[in-house]
Chain A
Amino acid sequence: MKIIVCVKQVPDTSGKVAVNPDGTLNRASMAAITNPDDLNAVEAALSLKEQTGAEIIVVSMGPPPAEGMLREVMARGVDRAVLVSGREFGGSDTYATSQILAAAINKIGVGPEDIVMCGRQAIDGDTAQVGPQIAEKLGLPQVSYAAEIKKDGDTLTIKRMLEDGYMTIKVKTPCLITCIKELNTPRYMSVNGIFECYAKPYEIFDYNTLKDDPLIDPSTIGLKGSPTNIFKSFTPPQKGVGMMLEGADKATCDKLAGILAAKHMI
C-alpha cells in the first residue's frame, strides 16, 4: 500500500505579505514554508502508516530549492520524495498544475490499495482546486474537507467538515482525500528523522520524465496551458470594526434581531 501526498512550498503569509508592483506576490522577500494544510495531509498519511505500514511518497511541483521542504517532510517520517520541476511547467495555474501532478502520480503509480492525499488549499492562491482536479484527471473518487479519517480494510470512513455541518461518507481505495487543519496536529520533525532525511530516496521528475503521459502536452501545461488570466490583484479594503452589543436582556436581543432582520440575515 502506498500513500502519495501532494505538498506545496508557499510564502509565509503569517508575517508581512510583500506584493510586487504588478500585484503578484513577491515570493523572494517572504520566508518559504510548507503549506499548512499539506502538513495535515502528511500527518494523516503518517498516522495511516503507523496503522498499516504503508509507504509514503510526497510529491511537489516547484523550483529546485523546494528540495529543502521535501527533506523536512521526510524528517517527519515520509519515506521518499519526488520534485516535479522543469521550465516547461513554469507559470502553471491550477488546471495545468493538476495536469502535471496527475501525470507525476501516474508515473509513481496508483494501485488498488493506494490513497492520494492533498491539503485542502494553499495559503498563497487559496483556490482549493488542485486536489479535486487531480482526482478528476486520475479518475479517482474524491473526498474533500476531511476532518476525520478511519481505515478498515479497503474502506475509508471520512467525516467531511462543511460550512454548515458534517457529512460522513465511505469510500473504497484507490481514492483522493483533501485534508483540513481540524483533521490532526502535524508532528514535529524528529532528531532521528533529520539525520536520516538526506539519505532517503529523492527523485526529480522533469518534462522528459513525464512527456509520454497523455496528460502532458505543451497546450495543457505551463503558462500556455493555463486558462486562468490574472485580471487584477489588490488588497481588499479592511472591514469596519463591527458593532458590539452587550447584555442578554430582552431589549438587547430584540435590538440584535432587528439589526439582523434589517440586513435580511434572519
Chain B
Amino acid sequence: MDFVLSKEHQMLRKMYREFAENEVKPLAAEIDEEERFPTETVEKMAKLGMMGIYFPKEYGGAGGDILSYAMCVEELAKVCGTTAVIVSAHTSLCCAPIFEHGTEEQKKKYLPDLLSGKKIGAFGLTEPNAGTDASGQQTTAVLEGDHYVLNGSKCFITNGTVADTIVVFAMTDPKAGNHGISAFIVEKSFPGFSVGKHEKKMGIRGSSTCDLIFQDCIVPKENLLGQEGKGFKIAMMTLDGGRIGIASQALGIGEGAIDEAVKYTQERVQFKKRLSQFQNTQFQLADMHTRMQAAQYLVYAAAMKKQNHEPYSMDAAMAKLFAAEAASDVTRRAVQLFGGYGYTREYPVERMMRDAKITEIYEGTSEVQRMVIASHLGVK
C-alpha cells in the first residue's frame, strides 16, 4: 500500500492550488454576497481542462483520472464551495452519464462542447415530490413518432440557469415504478423547455439552483439516454460517482476552514497570548485536522476504486457521509475559534460553515448514505 501521490498528481495539486488562490479566492466572498454565478471563472477553468478532467481526449477531455478530478474539486472548495460544485455537478452529473451510458453518436455530439467547457451541464432528477424518494417521478415522457413529449417540473437543479445540456429523468411507463423511468439528454433550446424560479440559498450562493419546467417539451427520440426504463439505474449510478465529487467538495471546505483557523489563531492575541498557544486551540485544530485527513483517505480511496473499475458505491457513500459531517463539524468549530469575528462576513469561515451544510443534503442526504452503506453490509 502506497500513500504517495504520483508526480503528475503532485503537479496537479500545485496547479489547482495556484489557480484557486489567484483566480477563485479573490471572488469567493463577492459571488456569495451578490449570489452571482462566476462565469469568468468557468471560462478560465475551461481553458485549463478543468471542465472535463477525467474523460478521454478523443471526446475533448483532458485525459486525466478520477483522483485528479477529486483533487480539483477539493482545492477549489478550500477557497470557494460554489466554484467547486459548479465543476462537480457539471462533471459527475452531466458529462459522466453521457460518457458512461450514451451512444457513440450522443458522445460525439455532446461531449466535446461539455468537456471543453463551452457548454455547462446539469442533472434533473429531483422533483417537488421526489427528493430522497427519487422513484416517485411525476414528470412524464410520451413517445410520439420520432420524439418524446415531456411534461412536468424539476427543482433544486444545480447549474440550472446556466446549463446548455441537461440529463433529465422522466416516467415513460408510470405503471412500472422504478422500471418505468427513462433518462434523456435535453438541450435548453428544445421547444417547451424553460427555467423556473431561482432558489435563494443558505450557502453555495454563487451557484445557480433553480426549477426546470417541461411543458410539452419536444425531445428527439435519439436523445433517449440508455434504454427506456433504465433511467433509475442510470440515476443511481450517476449519483454514486457524484458522491465522490460532493465528498471532495466537503473535504475541501473543511480543509479550507482549518487553513483559515491556523492562520488566525497564530495572529489573534487574548490574555497576552496568541490563541494558538492555548491548549484548547491546539486540541481543537488537532481534532479538526484528523477528521479531514480521515475524510481525505476515504475520498481518495473511493476515487481510486472508481478509476480501477472496482465496485465503489459503498466507498463513495462512506466518503460523502464522513466528509460532509466532518466539514460541518470542522467549519462550525472554526467559527468558534474565530469568536465574534468568525460570525461576521469579514472573515470567510462563516461562509464555509454555510457552504458545508449542503454537502450533508444534496446528491443523497447523510441518511441516504447510511441506507446505502447498510444495504452493502447486507443489513435488512
Contact = CB atoms under 8 A, between A and B. Distances in A.
Nearest to B47: A190
A231 interface: no
A148 interface: no
B43 to A, nearest CB: 13
B62 A191 contact: yes
A194 interface: yes
B191 interface: no
Contacts of B57: 192
A165 to B, nearest CB: 31
Interface in A175-217: 188-198
Contacts of A189: 11, 14-15, 48
B53 interface: yes
A190 B48 CA distance: 4
A96 interface: no
Interface in B4-33: 7-8, 11-12, 14-15, 18-19
Interface in B338-378: none
A76 to B, nearest CB: 10
Contacts of B47: 190
Contacts of B68: 191, 195
B72 to A, nearest CB: 8
Given A188-B15, A188-B19, A188-B48, A195 B63 contact: yes
A72 B14 CA distance: 10
Contacts of B62: 190-192, 195
A189 B18 CA distance: 10
B92 to A, nearest CB: 16
Contacts of A188: 15, 18-19, 48
A193 B50 CA distance: 12
Contacts of B48: 188-191
Interface in B203-224: none
A191 B53 contact: yes
> Interface SS of chain A: helix, strand, loop or mixed?
helix
B18 A194 contact: no
A197 B9 CA distance: 12
Interface string A68-93: 10011001000000000000000000
B15 A195 contact: no
A193 B8 CA distance: 10
B49 interface: yes
A198 B63 contact: no
Interface string A33-68: 000000000000000000000000000000000001
A188 B47 CA distance: 10
Contact of A198 (B8, B49, B72): B8
A154 B230 CA distance: 61
Interface residues of B, number: 19
Nearest to A67: B7
Given A72-B11, A198-B7, A198-B8, A192 B18 contact: no
A196 B63 CA distance: 9
Contacts of A197: 8, 11
A189 B8 CA distance: 11
Nearest to B62: A191
A173 B284 CA distance: 63
Nearest to B49: A191
A15 to B, nearest CB: 15
Q: Which of A68, A72, A189, A193 has the most CB of B within 10 A?
A: A189
A75 B11 contact: yes
B63 A192 contact: yes
A194 B12 contact: yes
Contacts of A192: 49, 57, 62-64
Contacts of B72: 191
A191 B50 contact: yes
A192 B55 CA distance: 11
A108 B18 CA distance: 33
Interface in B107-150: none
A172 B324 CA distance: 60
Q: Which of A188, A193, A198 has the most CB of B within 10 A?
A: A188
Given A191-B48, A192-B49, A71 B12 contact: no
Contacts of A71: 7, 11
A191 B12 contact: yes
Nearest to B22: A188
Contact of A190 (B7, B14, B18, B49): B49
B59 to A, nearest CB: 13
A194 B5 CA distance: 14
Nearest to B69: A191
A26 B171 CA distance: 68
A71 B18 CA distance: 17
Q: Which of B7, B14, B15 has the most CB of A within 10 A?
A: B15
Contacts of B12: 191, 194
B22 to A, nearest CB: 8
A193 B64 CA distance: 10
A188 B63 CA distance: 17
A144 to B, nearest CB: 28
A232 to B, nearest CB: 36
Nearest to A75: B11
A102 B68 CA distance: 39
Nearest to B15: A189
A195 B64 CA distance: 7
Contacts of A191: 12, 15, 48-50, 53, 62-64, 68, 72
8 contacts: A71-B11, A75-B11, A189-B14, A189-B15, A192-B57, A192-B63, A192-B64, A198-B7
Interface of A: 68, 71-72, 75, 188-198
The 4 closest A-B pairs by CB, nearest first: A191-B49, A191-B62, A189-B15, A192-B62
Given A188-B18, A190-B49, A191-B62, 5 more contacts: A188-B19, A188-B48, A190-B48, A191-B15, A191-B50
